């Protein structure tokens, strides 16, 4: 990419296109778009930085980047921002473009994209802050220079006016010898000296102006000397006409030397004022450009931040969707396993009742017939009959526990009473059963789930609770059924219950199975 960029730069310079920075910027922007579309956003950002460095080497008019030029910094910043934005757009287009397998060529930004965005935003904002500071400082200095030049011009105007007013002797004093006119003349001389001193102080940083002002000061001093001699001749009462004429001629010559020098000083100050006003206007435009760049950068950063937030939200939603799908799949699998377990228990119950139970019954009948036929082993036969009775009872109990026929035939109420009575007689735990009377039966899956929950609850009480009593209450409301099983045993730790309520883990298979049946 760098080789291609350098080649493009030299090609543009060879064809004379480098005199137009926008042509270089457009070329490198297209290069950045190509890199982003082919490799990705992160590579596009690197390409933008590299192309920015290459672009800076070919900025007109010198062909090299000027680190002290605000315009070069602004141009480079605009290029980098534009390149990054176009890179992001190209990447998004690339992300939505399917490949031959129907998958997106770009799935997501790298995990460190947040840090990249933060560093890029910090760098851009820092560059904008530096540029804004420099532009503001330059504008203030330029405005100060303009005000200073205007002040010099105003003092020069006063100096020119006083020089022209005092170029000859006061007419009133020459004609009428009015002392007020003479006082006015000396005030003008003092004003010239003051204004000249102010101009020299204001232009102390300009050696050329100082040389002119020193020359003007010497000429003014010579002119004042000739004027004082003319006044002295007038005051003696014996004026020398030839001498006065020579003095007047000399005063005119000095004035003709002074005026061009003053005009030269004024002209240079006007040129300087024009340059400083142009510089101030240029800095003002640069300030506006910096503000525009800051606005564009802020907008770009907001868009990038919005894009990252959108991407993160999309990732999180996708992860949540996957988690929900996995949880739902696990729940469906658990429900399927429970259904298969119920079906298998029903089948085993039916097989025990239909096959093994019938065989045992037939065997008992045969043994009874043998005992009636005066068989000598009557005691053995009686023992066999007793064992058969026990086997039949156990088979019937196991069959009912696997799947009680009363649940299908008479409903949950009858099956629950039968199971509670049998559980109390086998375990010795006193169980109280309260069930609300209702004519209509519940749906078969609901009755089966409630019976299995009741069965597992009593089993847990017998195994873990060490309680001597238990209470069972089944209430049918308008749109729901509430089954409450309460014992008075050792209980469960609070942390274990809270963990089970939050995560569904940390307990045995019994509680988890009951929960899955309820969810089902």
Over residues 496-517, the pLDDT tens digits come to 777 766 665 555 556 666 776 6
Higher-scoring residue by pLDDT: 448, 34: 448
Tell me the Ramachandran region of residue 504: left when phi exceeds 0, alpha when psi lies from -120 to 50, beta otherwise: left
Q: Which two tokens stand for residue 9?
A: 């730069």
Mean pLDDT for all residues in the chain: 71
Residue partners of 254: CB distance under 8 A and separation at least 6? 219, 222, 223, 226
Counting residues of the chain whose pLDDT is more than 90, the rounded percentage is 1
- Report in angstroms the alpha-carbon separations of 197 from 110, 214, 331: 70, 10, 99
pLDDT band at residue 4 using 50, 70 and 90 as cut-offs: very low
Looking up tokens 């101009």, which residue turns up? 199
How far is the C-alpha of 27 from the C-alpha of 31, rounded, in Å?
6
Residue 176 has a pLDDT of 61
If 0-12 CB within 10 Å is exposed, 13-18 middle and 19+ buried, where does residue 193 land?
middle
pLDDT band at residue 279 using 50, 70 and 90 as cut-offs: confident
pLDDT band at residue 167 using 50, 70 and 90 as cut-offs: low
Residue 10 has pLDDT above 50, yes or no: no
Helices (H), 352-486: 357-372, 378-402, 405-409, 412-427, 444-460
412 neighbors 404 (Cβ within 8 angstroms): no
Taking the CA atoms of residue 324, residue 327, residue 328 and residue 333 in that order, the dihedral angle to the nearest 10 degrees is 160
How far is the C-alpha of 518 from the C-alpha of 495, rounded, in Å?
22
Residue 5 has pLDDT above 50, yes or no: no
Q: Which two tokens stand for residue 281?
A: 């206007």
pLDDT band at residue 32 using 50, 70 and 90 as cut-offs: low
User: Residue 497 in 3-state DSSP?
Assistant: helix
- Strand pairing partners for 474? 435, 483
Residue 36 has a pLDDT of 56
How far is the C-alpha of 278 from the C-alpha of 141, rounded, in Å?
13
pLDDT band at residue 112 using 50, 70 and 90 as cut-offs: low
Q: Do domains 144-291 and 406-520 have the same CATH topology?
A: no
Listing DSSP states for 360-385 in one string gives HHHHHHHHHHHHHTT-S-HHHHHHHH
Residue 103 has a pLDDT of 41
481-487 and 469-476 as β-strands: parallel, antiparallel, unpaired? antiparallel
Q: CB 124: neighbour CB atoms within 10 A?
A: 20
Over residues 378-390, the pLDDT tens digits come to 666 677 777 777 7
Over residues 205-221, the pLDDT tens digits come to 888 888 888 888 888 88
- Name the residue ranges covered by the structural domains of the chain: 2-142+301-327, 144-291, 406-520
Q: Which two tokens stand for residue 277?
A: 């006003």
Residue 329 has pLDDT above 60, yes or no: yes
Pick the CATH number of 406-520 from 3.90.1150.10, 1.10.1060.10, 3.30.565.10, 3.40.630.30: 3.30.565.10
Fold exhibited by the domain 144-291: de novo design (two linked rop proteins) (1.20.1440)
Which helix (DSSP H) or strand (DSSP E) does residue 473 occupy?
A: strand 469-476
- What's the whole-number mean pLDDT along residues 435-439? 69
- What's the whole-number mean pLDDT along residues 161-178? 65
Nearest to 34 by CA among 48, 55, 54: 48
Residue 99 has a pLDDT of 46
Residue 64 has pLDDT above 50, yes or no: no
Nearest to 188 by CA among 218, 220, 166: 166
- What's the whole-number mean pLDDT along residues 253-278? 84
Over residues 288-320, the pLDDT tens digits come to 777 776 777 677 777 767 777 787 888 888 888
How far is the C-alpha of 391 from the C-alpha of 94, rounded, in Å?
75
Among 290-294, 361-365, 377-381, 459-463, where is mean pLDDT lowest? 377-381
Residue 42 has pLDDT above 70, yes or no: no
Nearest to 304 by CA among 124, 491, 159, 66: 124
**How long a stretch of residues is the chain?**
520
């Amino acid at each position: 990419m760098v080789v291609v960029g350098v080649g493009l730069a030299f090609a543009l310079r060879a064809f004379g296109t480098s005199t137009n920075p926008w042509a270089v910027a457009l070329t490198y922007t297209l290069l950045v778009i190509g890199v982003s579309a082919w490799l990705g956003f992160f590579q596009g950002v690197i390409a933008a930085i590299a192309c920015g460095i290459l672009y800076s080497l070919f900025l007109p008019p010198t062909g090299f980047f000027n680190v002290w030029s605000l315009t070069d910094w602004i141009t480079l910043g605009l290029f980098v921002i534009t390149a990054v934005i176009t890179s992001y757009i190209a990447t998004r287009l690339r992300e939505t473009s399917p490949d031959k397998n129907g998958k997106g060529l770009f799935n997501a930004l790298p995990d460190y994209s947040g840090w990249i965005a933060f560093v890029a935003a910090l760098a851009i904002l820092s560059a904008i802050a530096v540029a804004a500071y420099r532009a503001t400082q330059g504008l203030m200095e330029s405005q100060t220079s303009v005000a200073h030049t205007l002040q010099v011009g105003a003092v020069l105007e006063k100096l020119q006016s006083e020089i022209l007013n005092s170029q000859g002797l006061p007419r009133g004093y020459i004609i009428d010898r009015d002392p007020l006119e003479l006082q006015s003349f000396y005030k003008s001389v003092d004003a010239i000296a003051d204004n000249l001193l102010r101009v020299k102080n204001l232009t102390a940083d300009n050696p050329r102006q100082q040389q002119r002002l020193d020359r003007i000061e010497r000429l003014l001093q010579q002119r004042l000397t000739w004027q004082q001699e003319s006044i002295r001749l007038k005051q003696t009462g014996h004026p020398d006409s030839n001498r006065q004429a020579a003095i007047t001629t000399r005063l005119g010559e000095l004035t003709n030397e002074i005026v061009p020098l003053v005009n030269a000083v004024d002209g240079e100050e006007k040129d300087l004022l024009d340059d400083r006003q142009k510089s101030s206007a240029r800095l003002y435009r640069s300030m506006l450009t910096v503000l525009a760049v800051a606005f564009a950068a802020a907008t770009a950063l907001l868009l990038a931040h919005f894009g990252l937030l959108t991407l993160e939200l999309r990732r999180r939603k996708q992860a949540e969707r996957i988690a929900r799908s996995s949880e739902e799949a696990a729940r469906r699998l658990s429900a399927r396993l429970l259904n298969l377990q119920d079906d298998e228990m029903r089948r085993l119950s039916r097989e025990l009742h239909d096959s093994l139970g019938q065989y045992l019954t037939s065997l008992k009948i045969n043994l009874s017939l043998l005992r009636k036929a005066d068989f000598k082993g009557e005691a053995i036969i009686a023992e066999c009959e007793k064992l058969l009775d026990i086997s039949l009872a156990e088979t019937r109990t196991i069959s009912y526990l696997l799947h009680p026929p009363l649940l299908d035939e008479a409903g949950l109420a009858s099956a629950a009473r039968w199971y509670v009575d049998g559980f109390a007689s086998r375990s010795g735990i006193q169980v109280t059963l309260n069930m609300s009377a209702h004519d209509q039966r519940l749906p078969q899956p609901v009755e089966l789930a409630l019976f299995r929950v009741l069965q597992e609850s009593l089993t847990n009480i017998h195994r873990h609770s060490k309680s001597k009593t238990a209470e069972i209450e089944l209430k049918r409301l308008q749109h729901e059924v509430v089954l409450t099983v309460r014992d008075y045993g050792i209980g469960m730790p609070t942390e274990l219950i809270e963990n089970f309520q939050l995560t569904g883990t940390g307990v045995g298979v019994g509680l988890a199975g009951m929960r899955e049946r309820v969810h089902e």
